[in-house]
Amino acid sequence: MTTATAQGRTAPARMARVEIVDGEVRATRPVFAPEEFGARVEGSWPGSFELFRDRPGSGALYYRMDYGSLEWGPDLAEFAAGAERPVPSAGALLCLLQGDAPAPDSSPWPGVHRLAVGTAVRVTGQGITVTRRAPSMTARGDDLVHAVGASLDTHRTGSGYAIAYSGGMASAFLAAAALSAGHRPLLLHADIGGGGARFAPPAVPGLEMENIHVALDELLAPGPVTGAEPLPPMPDTEVPRRLMAALRAAAGDRVLVGGGLLEDLTSVKLPDVDAGARGWRLLGCEPFHVAGTLPSLAAARALLGKGVVYSPDVQPVDAPAPPSPTGASAVPGLTAEGRDAFESAHRATMALWQEHLDFLDPLLGTAVAGLAERGDGGLRLPALDPGVLAALSALPKSRLGRIRRGAFESHLPLRRELDRHGIAGVRRATQGFWLRRAAASYLHRERERIIARLERRCALADLGLVAPRAVARELRDGRDLAGRALPLLRLVWMEHWLGETS
């Protein structure tokens, strides 16, 4: 069996199917190895077996059950063959506009589920059951740098590998870990034109760096969105994917690896670190200055005792938060009907996410949430390697952060490796900052064209969800454009998608 690719060629379909006939499990399509997606088949294939996802992986894996049969695979197009594309609900569209990630086990097609981490699908001659069991985190004593180096060593065959080098802490650490492992990968840095002030990434002694120019319009314009997608692509994950596609083209035959999730997984909150004997230093820590300096040591310790940094209402210390939108504010111009539809869908989605993350080990939950927020860009991520996850699981929280000179420092394993290799001046911007800045620059330049299109026709207005005049006012005003840039860019993309589907 074959399936069409984006280039018009054909490739072997990666979908397995089994049926239960007279109490026996029979394979009607050959199985493929699902390990690259963080899943495995346990048991005696094709007899009784279990499909289990025990860790995050690059890409999604889907399954569908139907009257004594089970099929699974990574390509939604295989499940959708010959079926009419479902129409997303108003709530689903507005959640995408706000930046909410779909529920962890959801898919755009009815009856098709994403195989979430911790989900087990068991097939026997008596039937098919879906259960959950928490994946075990094997804590090994391997040093994190050694574990990352061992993961990178798997990409040294053939033409070797290159590193997508943003100049941030994670990609710089990846370069340092490669040097520690005796590797000499090429660093590929995306020089994004038109996005405001340019950042010169720090040099890595011993490694060659190549700048790849990428035009901002190629990243942010919705043109490549065809309308054939099951759900409208959103810039939060699609723009990084486009950016990495440009770097992959420059990498040639090399495997392209990235530092994604390494910062997430080595982050720690202030209450988790050892304050030391001189606990009064907490009063000068940066997090407390956000809401004002605390008046006394007693107040600081009382706040820490509740397991929070800013206020008693924030997320508990050990629990990862559900995927949150990269944009800083809500979609402008929602009608009353739109607000009701969004709030209902948002509450349901966030409740499912919170329940799923509470079920998982915090380390796995952080990785799952990070992938849902930003995707993997189509890169190989050493952070998802089982050995790297095991090394991270073995690290006590007290070794991930510290209080130094009145400031709280997180990501200590990354910082120390950078210092050891003399890599200074890495970018400290928060996740998604460059995308918000680039979106604001793009919208400011294109706003008159966008407003003209919205005035001609606004599909979301036709659905009763958005008031286009309010959106146009936001674009014309420009004062809040930076804060609302990503929600507005999502709206532009969704309008393009809805226009292509009509």
Per the domain annotation, does 350 fall within a domain? no
**pLDDT at residue 11, rounded to an integer:** 39
Same domain, 38 and 10: yes
**pLDDT at residue 50, rounded to an integer:** 92
Q: What residue spans of 128-215 are helical by DSSP H?
A: 144-153, 169-180
Same domain, 6 and 127: yes
The three-state secondary structure class of 101 is coil
Per the domain annotation, does 335 fall within a domain? no
Same domain, 74 and 187: no
**Using one digit for the tens of pLDDT, what is the confidence trace for 320-375?**
777 766 554 578 889 999 999 999 999 999 999 999 999 999 999 999 999 999 88
Spatial contact of 195 and 441, defined as CB atoms under 8 Å apart: yes
Q: Is residue 311 within a helix (H) or strand (E), and if so which, with residue range?
A: none
List the domain range (segments joined by +) for residue 147. Answer: 136-260+377-429
**pLDDT at residue 12, rounded to an integer:** 43
Number of compact structural domains in the chain: 4
Per the domain annotation, does 475 fall within a domain? yes
Per the domain annotation, does 484 fall within a domain? yes
Residues in the chain: 502
Same domain, 99 and 13: yes
Q: What residue spans of 12-157 are helical by DSSP H?
A: 76-80, 90-98, 144-153
Per the domain annotation, does 336 fall within a domain? no
**pLDDT at residue 146, rounded to an integer:** 95
The three-state secondary structure class of 205 is coil
Same domain, 22 and 67: yes
Same domain, 287 and 243: no
pTM for this model (two decimals): 0.87
CB neighbour burial string for 245-265, b if at least 16 within 10 angstroms, e if fewer: bbbbebbeebbbbbbbbbbbb
Same domain, 111 and 6: yes
The three-state secondary structure class of 51 is strand
Same domain, 424 and 472: no
CA 58 centroid distance within chain: 10
Per the domain annotation, does 11 fall within a domain? yes
Spatial contact of 384 and 268, defined as CB atoms under 8 Å apart: no
Same domain, 74 and 194: no
The three-state secondary structure class of 374 is helix
Same domain, 219 and 78: no
Per the domain annotation, does 239 fall within a domain? yes
From 60, 56, 65, 72, select the one nearest 17 (Cα to Cα).
72
Per the domain annotation, does 337 fall within a domain? no
Q: Which of 397, 429, 461 represents a domain boundary (last residue)?
A: 429
* The amino acid at 113: H
Parts of the chain with a pLDDT under 50: 1-12, 289-290, 309-317, 328
Same domain, 456 and 495: yes
Same domain, 254 and 399: yes
Q: What separation in angstroms does the CA of 9 have from each of 18, 224, 246, 371? A: 27, 19, 21, 29
Phi then psi dihedrals of residue 467, to 5 deg:
-95, 105
Q: Which of 83, 101, 132 represents a domain boundary (last residue)?
A: 132
**pLDDT at residue 8, rounded to an integer:** 34
Burial of 389 (0-12, 13-18, 19+ CB in 10 A): buried
What CATH number did the domain enclosing 171 receive?
A: 3.40.50.620
Q: Which of 132, 149, 168 represents a domain boundary (last residue)?
A: 132
